[in-house]
Amino acid sequence: MSKFYNSQRTRNLYAPQSGDLFKISRSKIDLFLNCPKCFYLDRRLGINQPPSFPFSLNAAVDLLLKKEFDTYRAQRKTHPLMKKAGIKAIPYDHPQINVWRDSLRGGITYEYPGTNFLITGGVDDVWINEKEELIIVDYKATAKTEEVSIDADWQIGYKRQMEIYQWLFCKNSFKVCDTGYFLYCNGLTNREAFDQRLDFDVTIIPYKGKRTWIDRVIQDIYVCLSSNDIPKQGPDCVYCQYRETVGNR
Ligand code: SF4
């Protein structure tokens, strides 16, 4: 067996008869929406997709952004990028900020009533505006020649991510601004040479979250995990098609 991938996990499986709290992360909610079958195989039967390799450059951008915004958080000052975008807010200085930003330490959580689910998410940043509303912020890093946007079909996951974080903070009794921001860093490839540096354009994209779908989806997840039947696969993934074709050889 590969040391990178265990194709038959025996831990973190949902057992319908157990009353123990069961974590459902925002990425698993997204997996359920993309393909209920893959979600069920993973959470009930312990068969998860092989992991992709980590995006180390994206992680480095995230880490440096966090450090940079933390200096403004400590001074309770608006970051110049926020000023330039006309956002009247400051990075939120809250004792739990490092927990909220670290999904491995729990992130922001909510025990969903009527289920034994603990819904979890790890945000990139939280700002606070003049009305004392929290603003959810998500960092994105890419390198493309066209202008960055969140309008492509595949970016629906970004929007859901923002909406779930907003919902989690609402459920934790915070006042949350409907508009969150994607802080999008685009690596510039039009330089003469690498010269041991990569420059970025940073664009702040506002997004007004709609959270009304979340309760229904969590109920659907509960029904799915409580059943002994494997649900149908989603329409847009090619891996099962590939697996079936390989299986026929
Ligand atoms: S279609 Fe894709 S996402 Fe769905 S079960 Fe198959 S591999 Fe998983």
Do 34 and 130 touch, CB atoms closer than 8 A?
Answer: no
Q: Say how far apart CA 81 and CA 185 lie, in whole Å.
A: 12
Instruction: Tell me if 239 CB under 6 Å of ligand 1.
Output: yes
The pairing of strands 179-187 and 200-208 is: antiparallel
Instruction: Tell me if 35 CB under 6 Å of ligand 1.
Output: yes
What's the confidence (pLDDT) of residue 62?
96
What's the confidence (pLDDT) of residue 2?
65
User: What is the number of the ligand 1 atom nearest to the C-alpha of 239?
Assistant: 7
Query: Which residue in 113, 123, 95, 94 sits closest to 25, CA to CA?
Result: 123
Q: How far is the CA of 29 from the centre of ligand 1 (A)?
A: 15
Q: Say how far apart CA 42 and CA 1 lie, in whole Å.
A: 18
What's the confidence (pLDDT) of residue 55?
86
Pocket test for ligand 1, best of 28, 30, 35 (most atoms within 8 A of CB): 35
What's the confidence (pLDDT) of residue 5?
78
What's the confidence (pLDDT) of residue 157?
95
Q: How far is the CA of 249 from the centre of ligand 1 (A)?
A: 20
What's the confidence (pLDDT) of residue 67?
98
Q: In what order do the strands lie in the sheet with 200-208?
A: 89-91, 125-129, 134-142, 179-187, 200-208
> Which protein residue has the closest C-alpha to ligand 1 atom 8?
38
DSSP state of 155: G
Q: Report residue 57 as tokens.
A: 């450059």
* Helix, strand, or coil (residue 183): strand
Instruction: Tell me if 148 CB under 6 Å of ligand 1.
Output: no
Q: Say how far apart CA 182 and CA 136 lie, in whole Å.
A: 9
The amino acid sitting at 183 is L
**Which domains are assigned to the chain?**
22-46+56-247 (3.90.320)
> Which protein residue has the closest C-alpha to ligand 1 atom 5?
38
Instruction: Tell me if 38 CB under 6 Å of ligand 1.
Output: yes
Reported as a single tens digit per residue, the pLDDT across 126-174 is: 999 999 999 999 999 999 999 999 999 999 999 999 999 999 999 999 9
Do 21 and 111 touch, CB atoms closer than 8 A?
Answer: yes
Q: Provide the Cα torsion 24, 25, 30, 34; round to 10°.
A: -50
pLDDT in tens, the chain (249 residues): 566 778 788 999 999 999 999 999 999 999 999 999 999 999 999 998 888 877 899 999 999 999 999 999 999 999 999 999 999 999 999 999 999 999 888 899 999 999 999 999 999 999 999 999 999 999 999 999 999 999 999 999 999 999 999 999 999 999 999 999 999 999 999 999 999 999 999 999 999 999 999 999 999 999 999 999 999 988 878 888 888 899 888
